[in-house]
Amino acid sequence: MSCCAPGAEMALALERVTPVLPSNQEVKLASRSLGDDLHQTDLSVPTVHCGACIQTIETALEKLDRLEDARVNLSTKRVSIRWRGNEAPPFVAALERLGYPAHLFEPEIDEKDKTLSELIRAVAVAGFAAGNIMLLSVSVWSGAEGATRDLFHWISALIAIPALAFAGGIYFRSAWNALRHGRMNMDVPIAVGVSLAYAMSLYETINHGDHAYFDASVSLLFFLLIGRTLDHVMRERARTAVNGLSRLAARGAMVMRDDGTRDYRPVGEIEPGMQLLIAAGERIPVDGKIIRGSSDLDCSLVSGESVPRTVASGEAVQAGILNLTGPLTVEATAAAKDSFLAEMVRLMEAAEGGRAHYRRIADRVSALYAPVVHLTAFVTFLGWMVAIGDWHRAMTIAIAVLIITCPCALGLAVPIVQVVAARRLFEAGVMVKDGSAMERLAAIDVAVFDKTGTLTLGEPRLVNASSIDPTMLAIAADIAAHSRHPLSKAIANFAGFAGQPELEAVSEHPGFGIEATAAGSTWRLGRRGWAGWKARTGGESRYGGTVLTKDGIIVASFVFEDALRADARAAIEQLNNARVSAQMLSGDTAAACGEVAAALGIHHFVPALLPSGKVEHIETLAKDGHKVLMVGDGLNDTPALSAAHVSIAPATAADVGRKAADFVFLRESLSAVPLALDVSRKAGRLIRQNIAIAIIYNAVAVPIAISGNVTPLIAAIAMSASSLLVIGNALRLASFATNAPETVGRRGNRSAIGALARSS
């Protein structure tokens, strides 16, 4: 299968998330009937990116039974599948095996960006009109006179009308809305300047004047629309990319009724008191209490605990937890709107209130800009009226002042730098959701990290494989392949050795391990106290928590470590060198946190924190005057991501966490954090330089315009020159060397820590 790098990186990010495939009931619920027993299911496959991907997917899916056809749309990364029968073919599992994780397509998430489409059309119309009017103006400047000059002016007036009506409508609507509500914004001087320039030009044309300024008014719109489009792209690009990643939340569950019948219900219809059947590999959809069964649970997404938790009847469970090994019957104790997930969303919304008060640099400048420009132009008009009494001359000079001070350079100063910076980060595997995020990131002095899934990859790794007999390792791998437990998955990766006996029967004992028979012997893989009931005398001390036994005799022991993200220690050092203090907040145990902190050189950490505790710690830092960066991935980190001054999440984070974060990094390396900081600080310096250029330009140009030595046409040329100047300055960011190394691709070099993820 031929694939290019960006898709491979995205696939890698998705591989690290524990795959939770939608059940047949979920697929059937999301499918639509086409009649004659024919159904259609639409899947979103974010990792599709080339022609080879399309051929691979369509060829593989069409081999499935009862599947009529499958079509891949590369532009929307969507697969449409038509199938027959009462049960959906296993096409989601087939895609998973091919390396294309899929989730059910959601129209509201994949909806086209209508605002961007409108802006692009407006830029095209304004650019076309400005180019044609400028050609006609060149003819006038070259000496066209009399009827020829008037004809060119009239043609220019007609070309300008649709440009002002369609492209200018974006500004006119905004300006009118502001004035109607008794306030000013930067669109008001633009609308006034463009309207007056067109009206004055039309007056000159009707009265056979020598000069008209249609080119000035339309060119002004063209440059301003470029800046607005860049700003919008900056805000929306990463948001749509993040929404394309896999969904983790359960859509529903199998409900057991009082008469013993079973019925699949969407999560919104699950009520307290209902009994839910949760199979191994499914996420728990709502908060509840286990009434039957025992299993191991992956709580890392919810609590940050790196080691799976063993549960049995009577214990409480929360929405979002992944059931690993055994079937459970859970009695719902809360509706979806009252679950742990809903509480995280409410905490996040409350935390976002504080961050909403932040005002971007451009917003702060524009608060003074609009009234100053209008006052200057009005005073200029009054001054010339008093001086010479010629309203035509006074109005021409006032229009020139409005045009020459129009915020083209200021409008481009911020978004052009942010777009170049976002491009730089995107190439390094970091997506930016909002331009203001880079401004906030540049100001941080404290970086707070979650542990599991952020500083570490959240997946155990077998580290003593070389010391285990290859045959025993192969047998353990065969046994482990029958379980979804994280430790079993780590062992199963070592399958492939020849010579091991064939397994005859395999059964899993949730909370203990797996038992199998082969060639008349009983093999157990799991906790030492359960598997090795005939452990050798005096030998127990050197065995780890997970062992392989043959007829009760321990034949191999396994030691696991949680791998750090690539360059994690280097990233912490780079932050310290950038005068940013690194801290760690985690819901995991003090021992696990202490070992990670020691390995990374983090001097301050707080273990065993609830989600609200993380928020309180960040709020305390903020009250002390610190600007806090939060880096986290779990559902329990979501409120903290919103409470921080700025936030970053890996692509493997919970869906709600990715939405709450300002940045998302797609690769394993944690060097994405200092890289984003470095680029943001450089971008901040360029933004301030661009604003200084715009201010200096106005300081020089405005007095000349007020003195009457600038026509509206020259004002438009000067305004365009200042815009090109700030664009050129912004493009320098692409050539700057960063102090942080580029994030590594693919797997990178994993560092390891001594935090053992042993079963105990």
Active site residues: 450
Count of beta carbons in the 10 Å neighbourhood of residue 427: 12
* Residue type, position 270, single letter: I
Q: Which two tokens stand for residue 482?
A: 């029958």
* Residue type, position 101, single letter: P
Count of beta carbons in the 10 Å neighbourhood of residue 640: 32
DSSP H or E run through 32? strand 32-35
At residue 347, φ and ψ (nearest 5 deg) are: -60, -40
Tokens 């401004």 label which residue? Answer: 439
DSSP H or E run through 521? strand 521-527
Q: By C-alpha distance, which of 121, 206, 208 is closest to 165?
A: 121
Q: Give DSSP secondary structure letters for 44-76.
A: E-TT--SHHHHHHHHHHHTTSTTEEEEEEETTT
Task: Give CA–CA dist 108/110, Å, rounded.
Answer: 6
Q: By C-alpha distance, which of 28, 33, 36 is closest to 90?
A: 28
Q: Which two tokens stand for residue 78?
A: 């969507």
Partner residues linked to 547 by β-bridges: 526, 557
Radius of gyration, alpha carbons of the chain: 32
DSSP H or E run through 648? strand 646-650
Inter-axis angle of helices 146-162 and 214-243, nearest 10: 20
Angular region, 465: left φ>0, alpha ψ -120 to 50, beta rest: alpha
Partner residues linked to 585 by β-bridges: 606
Question: Do residues 373 and 382 touch, judged by C-beta distance below 8 A?
Answer: no
Q: Which two tokens stand for residue 396?
A: 């021409």
Inter-axis angle of helices 114-141 and 214-243, nearest 10: 160
* b (16+ CB within 10 A) / e for 565-596: bbbbbbbbebbbebebbbbbbbbbeeebbebb
